[in-house]
């Protein structure tokens, strides 16, 4: 059974995506609330709740097949503060700078000949262009300096779940590990390699480009569920808005967004839309709050609740009836691909923060079954090869 370390583990969504054919040998997060949720769902045996700056390589057992890191994105997100990744020398000055604490552990493991076979960094797509592309170059240089063959892809969770959620995945394979030819391509493709990623790659120094790999993955099967399919008939943790509150939302809409609602009413079908409140400038340049709705069968990207505007509202339209309420915690979990037996925190904000700050489970599962396990199986022999044969996994199995 392949082993993995899970850094910035949150509620264990990467673990859920890897499935029950993988064994977690170490997990870490600094957040007590997330740690409690992790323990409820996976047990406490592998988890260390502490600042990653305090973690020592001696706490990491053996030589893992995979090290997964979903490092903080606040300083890299387009909606964040723009402080960037920082450097190994000033890593404590930014939240996203905790990447360097993670990488110092990878460096220490390398010095002990215990480098993980595969290292994955997951983050927001803003990491591609933040700090004029210098953050991406720093990440690329870190992989190359530890002699990993690496490349990056952008995956949108809406391929698997009804949520628009693009994320960057930088995937490195240890230099002594053979990569199956079907996992690489000679050049980039538009599906996994958007223009800004290609542009950032082209700016990398030649020495770093020598370690670069253009990853190739199969396109997933058609998504089975739309936004309306994950909506609870009797939601827990939220209540329906009053008619006055719903009307206030409609009053905040521009003519374009109101037209979307009217079209949904005319259709006569039960329709669900996702609403975010945003600050926009009017024709006179004055800022005003707007409610923006989408009815394209997917939700907006879940975000951590830093204020009322970041909590997603749903609008249910059925004929002339229009109702609104906050997205429920369970609906948020479903949008991340978590099963309904996943135990969520009791408080609304905690639950929303947990799922909104995680990685989409089926995205991890797609990477695991189509890349990680193929790499490991290709390099295994004898009994190990048989154990690593790719099988249909159960994406989630709650710890007893």
User: Residues with catalytic annotation?
Assistant: 73
Degrees, nearest 5: CA angle 276-279-284: 140
DSSP calls for 340-398: TTSPPPSSHHHHHHHHHTS--HHHHHHHIIIIIHHHHHHT--HHHHHHT------S---
Q: Which residues contact 107 (CB under 8 A, 6 or more apart)?
A: 146
Residue 288, CA atoms < 13 Å, CB-side half-sphere:
13
Q: Which residues contact 299 (CB under 8 A, 6 or more apart)?
A: 162, 163, 164, 227, 274, 312, 314, 327, 335
Burial of 374 (0-12, 13-18, 19+ CB in 10 A): middle
**Separation of alpha carbons 36 and 38, rounded Å:** 5
User: Measured between alpha carbons, how far apart are the two ends of the chain, in Å?
Assistant: 19
Q: Dihedral sign, CA of 214, 217, 222, 225?
A: negative
Using alpha carbons, select from 53, 101, 94, 103 the residue that is nearest to residue 76.
Answer: 94
Burial of 341 (0-12, 13-18, 19+ CB in 10 A): exposed
**Separation of alpha carbons 235 and 327, rounded Å:** 9
Angle between helices 32-42 and 348-356 (to 10 degrees): 80
Q: Are 211 and 311 in contact (CB under 8 A)?
A: no
Q: Are 14 and 68 in contact (CB under 8 A)?
A: yes
Using alpha carbons, select from 153, 92, 162, 143 the residue that is nearest to residue 360.
Answer: 162
Q: Are 89 and 138 in contact (CB under 8 A)?
A: no
């Amino acid at each position: 059974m392949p082993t993995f370390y899970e850094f910035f583990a949150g509620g264990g969504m990467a673990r859920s995506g890897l499935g029950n054919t993988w064994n977690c040998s170490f997990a870490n997060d600094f957040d007590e609330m997330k740690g409690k949720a992790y323990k409820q769902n996976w047990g406490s045996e592998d988890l260390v709740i502490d600042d990653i700056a305090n973690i020592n390589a001696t706490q990491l057992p053996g030589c893992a097949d995979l090290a997964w890191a979903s490092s903080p994105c606040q300083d890299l997100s387009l909606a964040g503060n723009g402080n960037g990744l920082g450097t190994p020398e000033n890593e404590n000055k930014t939240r996203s700078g905790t990447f360097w604490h993670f990488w110092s552990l990878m460096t220490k493991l390398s010095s002990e000949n215990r480098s993980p076979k595969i290292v994955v960094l997951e983050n927001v797509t803003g990491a591609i262009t933040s700090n004029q592309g210098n953050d991406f170059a720093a990440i690329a240089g870190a992989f190359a300096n530890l002699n990993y063959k690496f490349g990056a892809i952008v995956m949108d969770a809406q391929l698997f779940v009804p949520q628009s959620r693009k994320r960057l995945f930088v995937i490195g394979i240890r230099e002594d590990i053979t990569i199956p030819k079907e996992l690489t391509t000679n050049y980039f493709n538009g599906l996994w390699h958007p223009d800004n990623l290609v542009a950032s790659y082209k700016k990398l120094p030649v020495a770093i480009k020598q370690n670069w790999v253009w990853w190739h993955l199969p396109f997933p099967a058609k998504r089975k569920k739309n936004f309306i399919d994950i909506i609870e008939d009797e939601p827990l943790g939220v209540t329906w808005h009053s008619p006055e509150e719903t009307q206030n939302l409609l009053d905040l809409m521009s003519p374009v967004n109101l037209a979307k609602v009217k079209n949904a009413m005319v259709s006569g079908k039960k329709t669900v839309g996702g609403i975010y409140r945003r600050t926009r400038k009017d024709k006179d340049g004055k800022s005003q709050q707007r409610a923006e709705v989408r009815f394209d069968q997917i939700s907006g990207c879940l975000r951590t609740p830093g204020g009322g505007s970041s909590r997603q509202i749903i609008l249910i339209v059925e004929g002339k009836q229009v109702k609104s309420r906050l997205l429920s915690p369970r609906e948020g979990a479903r949008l991340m691909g978590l099963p309904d037996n996943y135990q969520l925190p009791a408080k609304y904000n905690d639950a929303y923060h947990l799922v909104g700050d995680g990685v989409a489970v089926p995205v991890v599962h797609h990477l695991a079954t189509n890349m990680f396990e193929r790499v490991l199986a290709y390099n295994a022999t004898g009994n190990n090869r048989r154990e690593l044969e790719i099988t249909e996994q159960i994406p989630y199995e709650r710890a007893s």
